Amino acid sequence: MSLKSLALIENWPVPTAAAGVVRADGTVLGTHGPTGHRFPLASVTKPLAAYAVLVAYEEGAIELDEPAGPEGSTVRHLLAHTSGLAFDEHRVTSAPGERRLYSNAGFEQLGDHIAKATEIPFAEYLRQAVLEPLGMTSTSLDGTASPAKDATSTVDDLLRFAAEVQAPRLLDPRTVAEAMTVQYRGTKGVLPGYGHQNPNDWGLGFEIRGSKTPHWTGGSSSPRTFGHFGQSGTFLWIDPAAGVACAALTDRAFGPWAIEAWPPFTDAVLAEVRG
C-alpha cells in the first residue's frame, strides 16, 4: 500500500522533505521523499532521549520519582516539563509541578543525571539503549550535544522508533503507557509556537494532544495522539486510535508555513489510512 496523501509534502515551501507512515507491527504503509536523508531533528530528539531514560528506569539505574534537577524536582518532573526550569537556561522560575514550562535545560539535566547514574555518557547510553537495538544506524547524538535538541536522523529510522513505541520490545508496555499518560493533570503552560494552553497536557517526554487548540497535528487527530515537533521543521506523531504513526522531516525552520501546512497534511493521511 502506498499513501497518496504523503505526496502533499511536495507542496511545502521547503528545499527538502521526507515523510512516512508506519503501523505498530512495523508495516510501512507509505513513504515519500528521500527517507534515508539525515536531517537535524531539533526537539524531536526529546522522545528518543526520553525512551533512553525509561530504559535506565527499567534497568534499575534510576527511579522516576527520585530527586533530579532543581530542588524538589524529580526525573518525572524533568520528563514532563514541570521541574520549574526555564526554557533554555538552568534557572528556576517556579516550584516543581506548578506550571508546564517547556525546558531544554530540563532535558540537559536529565542527560547529566542518567550519565552519572549509569557512568556512561548520555549520547553513548542512548546509542546502546535505543538506537542500536532498533537498528537506527543513521541516527546519532554526537558527543556532548544536547539531549534536548541535537540528534540527527532519517524518516526510515524514526519509523523504526515509532513502530517500537506502538508495540514495545525494549520496554514493558506498561512503562510506555505511562509515558503517553498525562502527568500532572490540569497543568497550564505554553506550547512553543502555539501559545498558552489550558491544560497543556504532556506525558513522559511526549507531548499529548488532548484538547489543545491550535495544534500542529490535525483536526481529526484523536485526543490520545502524542509525539513531538521540532524547530528544524520536523515532527513525529503517533495516533493510537488510528493505529499508525507519521514522521515528517524537512530542512526549513518551523514557522508560519508549518502551522499552515501540517494539520491538513495530517488530516489527509488519517483520512486515507482510515479509508
- Cβ-contact 210, 226 below 8 angstroms: no
Question: Tell me, what's the pLDDT at 2?
Answer: 83
**Extended strands (E) in 137-192:** 152-153, 189-191
> Which residues lie closer than 8 Å to 60 by C-beta, 6 or more apart?
none
- The predicted-structure confidence for 87-103, as pLDDT tens digits, reads as follows 999 999 999 999 999 99
Question: Tell me, what's the pLDDT at 260?
Answer: 98
Q: How many CA atoms lie within 13 A of 126 on its CB side?
A: 29
Q: Give the integer Cα–Cα distance in Å for 147 and 86.
A: 16
Peptide bond into 173 cis (omega under 30): no
The residues of the chain scoring below 70 in pLDDT are 1
**Of the candidates 123, 127, 116, the residue with the CA atom closest to the CA atom of residue 142:** 123
Question: Tell me, what's the pLDDT at 1?
Answer: 55
Q: What is the bridge-based pairing of β-strands 17-23 and 28-32?
A: antiparallel
Question: Tell me, what's the pLDDT at 9?
Answer: 98
- The predicted-structure confidence for 12-52, as pLDDT tens digits, reads as follows 999 999 999 999 999 999 999 999 999 999 999 999 999 99
Residue 74: phi and psi, rounded to 5, are: -125, 175
- The predicted-structure confidence for 146-159, as pLDDT tens digits, reads as follows 999 999 999 999 99
**What's the grid cell of residue 86?**
526555564
Give the CATH number of the domain where residue 45 resides: 3.40.710.10
Domain of 176, in residue numbers = 4-274
Rg (CA), the chain: 17
Q: For 130-168, give one letter per residue: b (16+ CB within 10 A) or e.
A: bbeebebebbbbeeebbbbbbbbbbbbbbbbbbbbbbeb
Q: Give the integer Cα–Cα distance in Å for 77 and 53.
A: 13
State whether residue 237 is helix, strand or coil.
strand
Number of domains comprising the chain: 1
Question: Tell me, what's the pLDDT at 24?
Answer: 93
- Cβ-contact 18, 31 below 8 angstroms: yes
